[in-house]
Homo-oligomer: A and B are copies of this chain.
Amino acid sequence: MADRRQILMRALEGIPEVQPGDDLGALVLEALPRSGLALEDGDILVVAHKVVSKAEGRMVNLATVEPGAEAVALARELKKDPRKVEVILGESDEVLRARRHPGRPEGVLICRHRLGFICANAGVDESNVPGADWVVLLPEDPDASARNLRDQLERATGRKPGVVVTDTFGRPWRRGLVNVALGLAGVPAVVDAAGTLDAQGRTLTATAPAVADELAAAAGLLMDKAGQTPVVLVRGVRWGETGDSGRDLLRGRAENLFP
């Protein structure tokens, strides 16, 4: 049935290890037919930020980093590499909490990234980078990264997919990581259903699904943690074009309802 509500997600095949300066759009365009896919209207590409960051050269060689006094002190407390802590502090507007991490070899800094994201280590991550002394940062502007990819795909295919750039974050009060949206192109951040009617004709209140985060989490089911499947095509979601930003998903301290 054509109007059956179903969603298909497929991990794009054969995206190689991305290097600084690589053309991520070209890699995606090559991977689509290899994966048996042609872009369709309404498709959404969910992209792990790591390949975006690497292509954009958002990497730091720790051998070039001179840790300051604050980084050295925090690193000692948390058993972290002081050079990595220096990079984390450089990415952060604020360190909200510095904690030993139960069961992990090193502790964690919960930071407010300069883009507003509340996340561990300001998104600075050393895994999946060739050579132990490199770390990957979040993209400079994840919305712009998403838009650039989208524009390139549109120029090449005539289709205009949604793009979501993601990272895996820990969460307050809940264990484990989930993939969340950092940057958006076309796709809504939150769809506010307040004012619409439920099945009994009652007005729905406070029903505002964070569609971009649902997309990110869904694609996370197909992004293997070794980084071999960083791009997932999602087909079948009903969405309307928006100019939303990944920052539309952020609550500031004043409107944070939770303790």
Contact = CB atoms under 8 A, between A and B. Distances in A.
Which bracket fits the contact residues of A?
Answer: 35 or more
A204 B217 contact: no
Contacts of A240: none
Nearest to A217: B217
A21 interface: no
B173 A256 contact: yes
A115 to B, nearest CB: 13
Interface of A: 1, 4-11, 13, 17, 35-36, 96-97, 99, 101-102, 104-106, 108, 110, 118, 120, 126-130, 132, 168, 170-180, 189-191, 193-194, 196-200, 202, 204-211, 213-215, 217-218, 220-222, 225-229, 237, 248-251, 255-259
Q: Per DSSP, are chain A's interface residues mostly helix, strand or loop, or mixed?
A: loop
22 contacts: A4-B36, A5-B222, A7-B9, A7-B10, A99-B257, A120-B257, A127-B198, A128-B202, A170-B258, A171-B210, A174-B210, A174-B213, A174-B249, A174-B251, A175-B210, A176-B190, A176-B211, A178-B209, A193-B225, A199-B226, A204-B226, A214-B220
B200 A225 contact: no
Nearest to A191: B176
A30 to B, nearest CB: 16
Given A175-B250, A176-B249, A214-B220, A257 B170 contact: yes
The 8 closest A-B pairs by CB, nearest first: A176-B210, A218-B218, A217-B217, A176-B190, A172-B258, A6-B10, A172-B172, A5-B11
Given A4-B13, A97-B258, A213-B217, A204 B176 contact: no
Contacts of A6: 8-11, 222
A217 B4 contact: no
Contacts of A171: 171-172, 210, 258
A198 B199 CA distance: 47
A225 B205 CA distance: 10
Contacts of A251: 172-175
B258 A118 contact: yes
A110 B255 contact: no
Nearest to A233: B6
Contacts of A104: 194, 205-206
